[in-house]
Amino acid sequence: MNDEHQYPLGTLIPYGPDPERATKLTACVIPAPGAELTAMQCWHVKEGDIRDDSEIADEVAEFFSAHKIASQINAPEILGCEHEEGIDFPLGAFCTQCAMWSVLEHAKSHRTGKTPEGNGEFITPDEVIEALAEVRGCPPREAFRAADFHRKALVEPLLARLLSELDEVEKDPSRDSQFGCHALLLLGKWCEPKALPAVLRWFSLGEEAHHAFSGDVLLEDGAGILASVAGRDLPEIRALIENPALYEYSRGVALDTLAVLVQRGKLSREELIAYLRELIAGKLGSEESHVWSHLATVVVDLGITELVPELRAPFEEGWIDGMVISWEDIQNTKAAAKGGHFERRTAQITDVAESSAWWSCYHIRARDRTEGPVPAARAYEGAPYTPRPPAVPFIAEPKIGRNDPCPCNSGKKYGRVRRVQQKESGSW
């Protein structure tokens, strides 16, 4: 602060998860040069850039007006993450919740000759791509940290390779893609709108291609990824839900995406309820489909009790799978709302390594790992980065679909036989 400023002086500083997006604003009032703050107020948003929020801008103006500031200084750039040193993480340490700022601070320390022990320069964008594609026994944590650092340079290469691998799996539905799953999680974490066409193509893959390309990543993280790159309720999402030609699990996860948008404040509860009524009234058709089970689960997760009576007929007709959600759970919607798994699916991706740590390929391949836990870390230490030769990928045993012939050789569909067994046992 120099003597040219008039007091009381107002300062406005943005903070965020990376240098591009601000999620916190802090306004302070300084009564005189060298004096302590006399007032401070913070504003937060979960999505978007807080600097674009007109309502918060009005509140900031009212705050400064109430304290009769004579001049104002706005920080020209985002100064760091929204967490506070000494409160959210120890003094002198890096914030463990905001990997990108840790990367920037490490790199800054390296340039000034004050590199913390065991850390050096981060791997290049090309090496990040190699590390994300490498078949390995654990998540490539250092590559994810470096990806956040190189985010601007990586968006286009990630998308180009992701689209290329989607082309390949459409030609060869047995082709898996560990890189594709890593890229989807990263783009979802970054809320990258350019990724929407690629994510929609991912959702449009056939059943066999889905099993090979991404396995259960669709069910576990698909809704969060689609909600993050879309940012709002879009006609494309509803088109996925209503398309009977698509893989039924993709349609169901697309429906889950609307619940995620409600939780994130991007879609009103009333709009979702109105749309669910349209689906129940005819847009979902009158036959068994997993999307019906997802609809019932969304009703339970969000505690939409007013739709419970309208689900009775679809459940009795067998369109809702009793093995996925029971009628008792649907009836007890209010008590069962917002379970732990729902909270996980609706949460924004903040740590890609944590979000992918459950993948079975990591646990299966870990026993064959002969190198350190993070091969890319060699580049951290100044050694050249050399990817390991790919191991034989794990291929899951084929699953029996609801519309496949039952293995009992009855000639009926597997889902139909299972419902009959449930009725006879009294569990349906």
- The pLDDT, as a whole number, for residue 262 is 92
Q: What's the chain's average pLDDT?
A: 78
pLDDT tens digits, 111-166? 443 333 334 456 889 989 988 988 766 788 888 888 888 888 999 999 999 999 99
What does the alpha-carbon distance between residue 328 and residue 31 come to, in Å, rounded to a whole number?
A: 62
The stretch 159-177 carries a mean pLDDT of 89
Q: Which residue has the higher pLDDT, 97 or 280?
A: 280
What does the alpha-carbon distance between residue 201 and residue 34 come to, in Å, rounded to a whole number?
A: 57
pLDDT tens digits, 10-31? 999 999 887 888 999 999 999 9
Q: Which residue has the higher pLDDT, 104 or 294?
A: 294
What does residue 30 show for φ and ψ, rounded to 5 degrees? -115, 120
DSSP output for 37-66? PSEEEEEE-SSS-GGG-HHHHHHHHHHHHH
What does the alpha-carbon distance between residue 170 and residue 277 come to, in Å, rounded to a whole number?
A: 34
The stretch 37-51 carries a mean pLDDT of 90
Q: Which residue has the higher pLDDT, 1 or 77?
A: 77
Helices (H) and strands (E) in the chain, counts: 21, 4
CA distances from 363 to 103, 212, 344, 357 (A): 27, 17, 21, 9
Share of the chain above pLDDT 90, in %: 41
The stretch 241-268 carries a mean pLDDT of 93
**Angle of helix 290-301 relative to helix 269-278, nearest 10 degrees?**
150
What is the token pair recorded at 346?
């609706």
pLDDT tens digits, 266-276? 999 999 999 99
pLDDT > 70? residue 312: yes
pLDDT > 50? residue 392: no
CB distance 30 to 11 below 8 Å? yes
Going by pLDDT thresholds of 50, 70 and 90, the confidence category of residue 229 is very high
pLDDT tens digits, 332-352? 876 555 555 566 667 788 888
What does the alpha-carbon distance between residue 281 and residue 304 come to, in Å, rounded to a whole number?
A: 16
Which of the residue ranges 2-16, 49-63, 213-227, 244-258 would you say has the lowest mean pLDDT? Answer: 2-16
pLDDT > 70? residue 318: yes
What is the token pair recorded at 344?
């996980």
Is the C-alpha dihedral spanning 122, 126, 132, 136 positive or negative? negative
CB distance 141 to 156 below 8 Å? no
pLDDT > 70? residue 35: yes
- The pLDDT, as a whole number, for residue 65 is 92
pLDDT tens digits, 345-381? 677 888 888 888 887 766 544 334 333 333 333 332 3
- The pLDDT, as a whole number, for residue 404 is 61
Q: What angle do CA 184, 211, 402 make, to 5 degrees?
A: 130
pTM of the model: 0.61
Going by pLDDT thresholds of 50, 70 and 90, the confidence category of residue 86 is low
CB distance 33 to 71 below 8 Å? no
CA distances from 295 to 206, 221, 273, 403, 419 (A): 21, 17, 11, 19, 19
Nearest of 362, 351, 391 to residue 139 by alpha carbon? 362
CA distances from 400 to 249, 297, 317, 397 (A): 14, 22, 21, 10
DSSP output for 106-162? HHHHHHTT-PPTT--PPPPHHHHHHHHHS--SS--HHHHHHHHHTHHHHHHHHHHHH
